[in-house]
Amino acid sequence: MEKAPAAPNPDYDLLRPIEDPGKSFYYIVIVLLVIILYTGYVYIRQVYYGLGVTGMAQPVTWGFYIINFVFFIGISHAGTLISAILRLSKAEWRRPITRMAEVITAIVLAIGGLHPIIDLGRPDRMTHLFYNGRLQSPLLWDIVSITAYFTASTVYLYIPMIPDIAILRDRGVKPRWLYEFLSWGWQGTEQQHKVLDRAMNILMVVVIPIAISVHTIISYIFAMTVQPGWHSTIFGPYFVVGAIFSGIAAILVLMIVFRKVFHLERYLKLIHFNYLSVLLLVMSLLWFYFTFSEYLTGYYGHEPNEMRVFWYKFSGAFAPYFWTMVTCNFLLPLILLSNRKTRTIPGILIASISVIIGMWLERLIIVVPSLANPRLPYPTGIYIPSSTEWTLFLGGVSVFILGYMMFARFFPVISIWEIQEGRQESAKAVTERITSYMPDPQTPLAKG
């Protein structure tokens, strides 16, 4: 396309939240900032007094921080992975969704990545990792893979954004210099488009394995130990599935929220939700399949220590959490999404939220019980998270919300140019593609 058409582009009302964010935006920002500042204070207190202010103890030496670490990183799989897959599979309905998804990734990764540091007893010694870390420790693998994933996904978020930034620049939206700087002199020439497409094609291929590796490696933190309930080969895929699962739920929730707040009904149509929720349903079934086989093998093997953990989850102290998890992750989504009547926006919202909760519980159920039931005859450990841990959890969530709001404040959450591109080209492209699937009419069938 040439430069922006004179006629007011219908898609430009996507820029409204950027051009005038409105009062409520600032109120929310202030509230969030307050929460975040308090969280900061709480964290500083923890650094000052030591981890004693948490509810962790022997033998449950890992708690909320690790749980949330796994949880947030899991959510992060929403974006990049999904949008990459959709892009790769040329699913045209992806266009309004991809960016939202990618933004989630970038922000949540940043938050999740911080959690191991919060969990350190001596954050002041972080630097030790640099001059004598040891790559044989799964923690180091994590650091590497998460850095890779973070950079990759930000790049992957940024590059498709350039044209939109250019639009903002051309419309002279403040702060001008920012858009000028970020737009990298985009003018939408053929050449530039070619470059952009090629780059994106490379990226979407690179990103997928990285994304998968990240959560696999996170699962390794547990699977590499010999602890009952952790030392399992399917943990890698299990975690990845769970991650994508929770990711999709997260996107759905966000989509519904934005649809409501920015009145994007024109863009986020029921069809999108429908597709995504079906995807969610599929993941839910997949998740159940993994959970089932994980516990069945444990149960059938009947190794005493395994069983101690097993019963601790199924009928012991953790039974309530466990069965809630099963309900949230499997039963509820299954009921709500498999049935067309309930596969409505509210139904989907409920399902997604329950999945998010369920997945958090799953992380809890993976981390704590194995620690609480040591192999040797110790008493079973107890873990009651302290207010500090709750606050930091809340803080993490609010950082996410704030981050997302800030993004939405400066950049369009729906890729304008991709939509336009879709309007102008994809219809043609798709028909071509479809005809290319069809058998050619010219060549007659060989007579037998």
Partner 1 sequence: MNYKLIDRLQILSISLIWLLFTGIAVWILNLIKESLRLHDAPDASLGISLVAIPVFFTLSSVLTYVFIGLRKGRKKDVES
Partner 2 sequence: MKWGMVIDLQKCTGCGECVAACKLENNVAIVEPKESEMGRTMLWMDMLTVYEGEYPRLRVRQFPRPCMHCDHPPCTKVCPVRATYRNEEGIVAQIYPQCIGCRYCMAACPYTVKSFNWYKPEWAPGIRETANPDVSVRLVGVVEKCTFCVHRLQKAKEQAKAEGRNLREGDFQTACAESCPAGAIVFGDLENTNHRVNPLSRSPRATRLLEDLGTEPKVIYLKEVD
Partner 3 sequence: MKITRRNFLQMLGITGVAAGGISQVWAIPDKWIEKLQYGPRIETWKMSTCGQCPAGCGIRVRLIDEIPVRIFGNPIAPVNSGFICPMGEAGLELLYHPDRIRQPMRRKGKKGESSWVPISWEEALGQISQGLKGLLKNQQADRFGFFFGDRNTLLTHFAGDFVTRMGSTNFFPWRAPGINELGLWQAIGEYPPPSFDLDKTDYLLTFGTNLLEGPPSPVYFNRLYGKLKESRTRTGLKMVHVDARMSQAGKNATEWVQIRPGSMGVLALGMAYVILRDKNFDEEFVARFSVDFRGGKEDFQTMVARDYPPDKVFAVTGVPPGTVLRLAREFSSAKAPLALSGGTSDRSETALFTQWAVAGLNALSGSFSAKGLWREPVPLPWGPTPIPSINTRSGAFSLKPKLAPDTDLPAHWASEELPHLRSAGKLPDLEMLMIAQVDPLYLPVDQKPWQEWLSRIPQVVQFATLIDDTSPYADLVLPATTYLEQWDMTLPVPNLPFSQLGLQQPIVPPLNGARPIGDVLLALATGQGVTTLLSEKSGKSYADYIGERLKPVFASGKGTPFFEAVSLKFLGELRERGWQVYSYPAFADFWRLLQEKGGWWDPGEYPEAEWKKRKKFAFPTLARLNALLKERALLSPGQGTTKGEPPSNKWMEGPARKPEAPDSFLLAPFTTLMNMTGEGASQPLLRELSGLIPRVYWQTWAEMHPKRAERLSLKDGDLIRVVSGKGSVTLYLKVVPTVSPEILGVPFGQGHKESGRYAKNVGANPVALIDPLVDPLSGRASWQSMQVRVEKVNK
Asked whether 390 and 41 are in contact (CB, 8 A), the reply is no
- How many residues touch partner 2 (CB under 8 A)? 43
Binding to partner 2 (CB under 8 A) within 226-245 occurs at 226-227
Residues 6+ apart with CB under 8 A from 393: 64, 68
CA distance 169 to 183: 8
Among 379, 439, 441, 448, binds partner 3 (CB under 8 A): 379
Q: Which does 177 bind (CB under 5 to 8 A by kind): partner 2, partner 3, partner 1, none?
A: partner 1
Least distance to partner 3, CB of residue 412, Å: 45
Handedness of CA 110, 113, 116, 117 (dihedral sign): negative
Among 24, 89, 136, 442, binds partner 2 (CB under 8 A): 136
Is residue 386 a contact point for partner 3 (CB under 8 A)?
Answer: yes
Q: Where are the beta strands (DSSP E) in 206-262?
A: none
Is residue 49 a contact point for partner 2 (CB under 8 A)?
Answer: yes
Is residue 121 a contact point for partner 3 (CB under 8 A)?
Answer: no
Both tokens assigned to 21: 């964010």
Q: Give 224's Cβ-side CA count (13 Å radius).
A: 13
Q: Is 61 or 426 the residue whose CB approaches partner 2 more closely?
A: 61
* Measured torsion, CA atoms of residues 348, 349, 353, 355, in degrees rounded to the nearest 10: 10
Least distance to partner 2, CB of residue 126, Å: 7
Residues 6+ apart with CB under 8 A from 259: 265, 268, 345
Among 6, 7, 376, 438, binds partner 2 (CB under 8 A): 376
Q: Which does 56 bind (CB under 5 to 8 A by kind): partner 1, partner 2, partner 3, none?
A: partner 2
Binding site for partner 1 (CB under 8 A): 130-136, 140-141, 144-145, 147-148, 151-152, 155, 159, 162, 176-177, 180-181, 184-187, 189-192, 194-196, 198-199, 202-203, 206, 210, 213
Is residue 298 a contact point for partner 2 (CB under 8 A)?
Answer: no
Given the rule CB under 8 A, which of 44-52, 226-234, 268-276, 317-325 is the region that contacts partner 3? 44-52
Is residue 125 a contact point for partner 2 (CB under 8 A)?
Answer: yes
Query: 69 — alpha (psi -120 to 50), left (phi > 0) or beta?
Result: alpha
Is residue 29 a contact point for partner 3 (CB under 8 A)?
Answer: no
Residue in the block written with tokens 């950082």: 399
Query: 269 — alpha (psi -120 to 50), left (phi > 0) or beta?
Result: beta
Among 52, 123, 209, 301, binds partner 3 (CB under 8 A): 52
Q: Which does 377 bind (CB under 5 to 8 A by kind): partner 1, partner 2, partner 3, none?
A: partner 2
CA distance 445 to 273: 43
Q: Is 298 or 374 the residue whose CB approaches partner 3 more closely?
A: 374
CA distance 226 to 221: 11
CA distance 246 to 233: 21
Interface ranges with partner 3 (CB under 8 A): 45, 49, 52-53, 379, 386-388
